[in-house]
Amino acid sequence: MPLSSYSRPRMTDMTPTPAQAAPTEGRYSVADDGQIFFQEQPTNPLPGVPVGRLQKGDALLAPKAVADAHPKVQEWLDIHTRTVLEPLFKLKQVEGEGALTGAAAGIGERLYDHLGVMHRSELEDLIAGLDADMRKALRSKGVRLGPVLVFLPALVKPAAIRMRAILWALWNDKALPIAKPADGRVSEVVDTAAIDRDFYRMIGYPVFGPRCIRIDMLDRVVTDIYDTAEQGVFEAKHKYAEWFGSSLDDLYAVLESMGHRRLKDEAKPAAEAAAPAAEAVTEAPALASEGVTTEGAKEAAEAVEAAAPVTPKAPAPLVKFMLKRGKMSDRPQPRNQHGGKPRYTKPDAKPEGADSKPERGEKKFTPKKSYDPNRPNKKHDREEGDERPRKPKFDRNKDRDQDRAPKVYTFEGKKTGDDDANNPFAILKNLKKQ
């Protein structure tokens, strides 16, 4: 059972009162079930004897210690909490060198209230107001502005995870010990219908798909995805499954729960290599026909098989995904099999006399009306008594008839006395007159 220790100072020679009748030296520790133990020998690895319990305090990061015979146990608990969660308490620094100011101070305050983990989408308004100095100050405090979550990587240590789990359970009135991932585990399969996603996120194990994943490894995979994606498409690499400590099927489920759309598998399975042993077995009858005994042929086949190089097993084909558009969250959203918003479906016909008003969130189906040439047109119909002049309608046939009216074209050239006799038109004219 992982425990934490604190050495008590030596008491004076004065006789302690009955309320202060505590050992003169030793160390305290707290267990996952909230019990406080005291060990008289500081070098003894055993927890010792239970002397009190933790209780809900006035704030999330200020629990109370109840131990009647140990008046200084509250002082130890305050020091122990600040020591284990030191990166979180540094965010509260408002004075001196390295203090956070402006939007950076707002981010630090909100991270402090959420045990060091928050969705980036919930801090976008403050992140947009950061300048270069504010970002540098946040980095000095160990704050990581990841693409999905904003967190403190230093709090992924087992002691910090255990302490945050205890504090969250006390503050939310949950029974101790509370279920959490094993120490040092990168990811675990969880029952998504029975767990509290806020709890797992605040202790550093956000839930995606069927697994809770340690936040530093999750950020490592997401960052590599965005760095290697080309034209919005990335490949689910084998190293992602190794980093998560999961199978490829679980990896695909995690990526799909992030909102990435799985593309159609185009990879073809690798061709199976020919087995050298089969070739050796086919050679055995030939050796026997040449005078070699059956036992000798078998030994020769075994020698050929042993000398043949071992063909490594081909890795499973990888799957490609389309990057999710917009913000990513570990809160599940209702999605259909097509990966988008639910498609509209025509509602079932309601019985006669039923209320035709659609329910909230349901679209009312209204079929398109077919064209009726006899239906009155409200836009062009006039009320009775309206004497305003109408705009003349365009008559296409009338204008076409006017354009087709016959036109006569005549030409009279210049006449001179010299060319009348030789003019062909004059010759034809004279022939008509005869």
Q: Where are the domains of the chain?
A: 18-84, 175-267, 276-305
Contact 8, 26 (CB under 8 A): yes
Separation between Cα atoms, residue 363 and residue 361, nearest integer Å: 7
Contact 103, 97 (CB under 8 A): no
Nearest 5°: the CA angle 251, 253, 255 is 70
Sign of CA dihedral 96, 98, 103, 108: negative
What's the pLDDT band for 283 if we cut at 50, 70, 90?
very low
DSSP for residue 195: S
| Residues in CB range of 271: below 8 A, 6 or more apart | none
What mean pLDDT is predicted for residues 263-269?
A: 61
Contact 21, 69 (CB under 8 A): yes
What mean pLDDT is predicted for residues 402-428?
A: 63
Q: What is the pLDDT of residue 6?
A: 42
| Residues in CB range of 160: below 8 A, 6 or more apart | 84, 85, 154, 204
What mean pLDDT is predicted for residues 31-57?
A: 92
What mean pLDDT is predicted for residues 156-170?
A: 96
Mean pLDDT lowest among 25-34, 57-66, 320-329? 320-329
Separation between Cα atoms, residue 128 and residue 30, nearest integer Å: 41
Of the chain, the percentage scoring pLDDT greater than 70 comes to 60
Q: If you compute the radius of gyration of the chain from its CA atoms, what whole number of angstroms results?
A: 43
Contact 103, 130 (CB under 8 A): yes
Put simply, whether the predicted model's pTM sits higher than 0.75 gets the answer no
Q: Give me 5's structure tokens.
A: 């220790």
3-state secondary structure of 130: coil
Separation between Cα atoms, residue 319 and residue 231, nearest integer Å: 16
Q: Which conformational region is residue 100 in: left (phi greater than 0), alpha (psi within -120 to 50 degrees), or beta?
A: beta
Closest CA to 184 of 205, 207, 208: 205
Q: Tell me the pLDDT tens digit for each residue of 350-359.
A: 555 555 555 5
Contact 112, 202 (CB under 8 A): no
Q: Give me 388's structure tokens.
A: 């305003």
Contact 38, 23 (CB under 8 A): yes
Checking if the pLDDT of 270 tops 60, the result is no
Q: Give me 32's structure tokens.
A: 């996952």
Start-end of H helices in 269-373: 276-289, 294-307
Mean pLDDT lowest among 53-62, 144-153, 318-327, 422-431? 422-431
Separation between Cα atoms, residue 234 and residue 39, nearest integer Å: 55
Separation between Cα atoms, residue 58 and residue 1, nearest integer Å: 28
Checking if the pLDDT of 360 tops 90, the result is no
| Separation of first and last alpha carbons in the chain | 141
| Phi, psi for residue 221 in degrees, rounded to 5 | -70, -45
| Residues in CB range of 259: below 8 A, 6 or more apart | 324, 326, 328
Checking if the pLDDT of 2 tops 70, the result is no
Neighbours of 331 (CB within 10 A): 10
